[in-house]
Amino acid sequence: MARADRNAAVAEIVDEFNASDGAVLTEYRGLTVKELQTLRRSLGANANYAVVKNTLTQIAAQQAGIEGLDDYLAGPTAVAFIKGDAVEVAKGLRDFAKANPALVIKGGFLDGKALDAAEVGKLADLESREVLLAKLAGAMQASLAQALYVFNALPTKAAALAAALEAKATEDPTILAGGAGNPVAAEEATPAADDTAADTTEEVTAEADAPVETEN
């Protein structure tokens, strides 16, 4: 390969690395062209699956600042450059490999961290972004429905309380004035008691001051 072509190929792989959230490296030896096309279609918009040269990919990874891929760059290599849901990509590759054992998952990287084949398998076991969003939406909808139920119940409860208060006020009008009945105030009763006591005192005093009549 001419130097210019080599540099262009490396630059293209670098661009793929930089535009991707991660990548999964696979060995495709034994797969037919038709099977590779089927695999590409199954990954859809989540990944760009491309056959690459190991030496050029190694150089491109170094230029893109990606480490930990050297051990996976042996034998025929095709890379799934992740453009969408990484879990969906891992699931797609795993499921295809089950049906087509010629596809071997070597490893890869995600968010700057190198992954071995086992870790890619664990990634495939996770729930997809769509499933997690659906569960989140369901939980939010349930919470919203509960909140609406509470808000809708508040006017009903307030009306029931008002009706009960009105019925009680009909039976005892003074309840709205802060009490039941009109008890005699203490201060109203006290002066009467004081007056009685004063009159009694005056009578006793008068009798005490009256002159004692003696017989001559």
pLDDT, tens digit, 9 for 90 and up, residues 23-45: 999 999 999 999 999 999 999 99
- State the fold for domain 3-126: Alpha-Beta Plaits (3.30.70)
Would the CA dihedral through 9, 15, 17, 20 be positive or negative? negative
Average pLDDT of the chain is 78
Task: Give 53's pLDDT tier (boundaries 50, 70, 90).
Answer: very high
Q: Is the pTM of this model over 0.85?
A: no
Residue 49 predicted with pLDDT over 70: yes
Q: At what angle do helices 86-99 and 117-125 cross, to 10 degrees?
A: 110
User: Among the listed ranges 2-6, 16-20, 80-84, 147-151, which one has the minimum average pLDDT value?
Assistant: 147-151
Q: Is 85 helix (H, G, I), strand (E, B) or coil?
A: coil
Residue of 177 and 98 predicted with greater confidence: 98
Domain ranges for the chain, please list them. Answer: 3-126, 128-176
User: Nearest to residue 43, comparing CAs of 95, 114, 102?
Assistant: 95
pLDDT of residue 1: 75
Q: Measured at the alpha carbon of residue 83, what is the angle toward residues 75 and 70, in degrees to the nearest 5?
A: 30
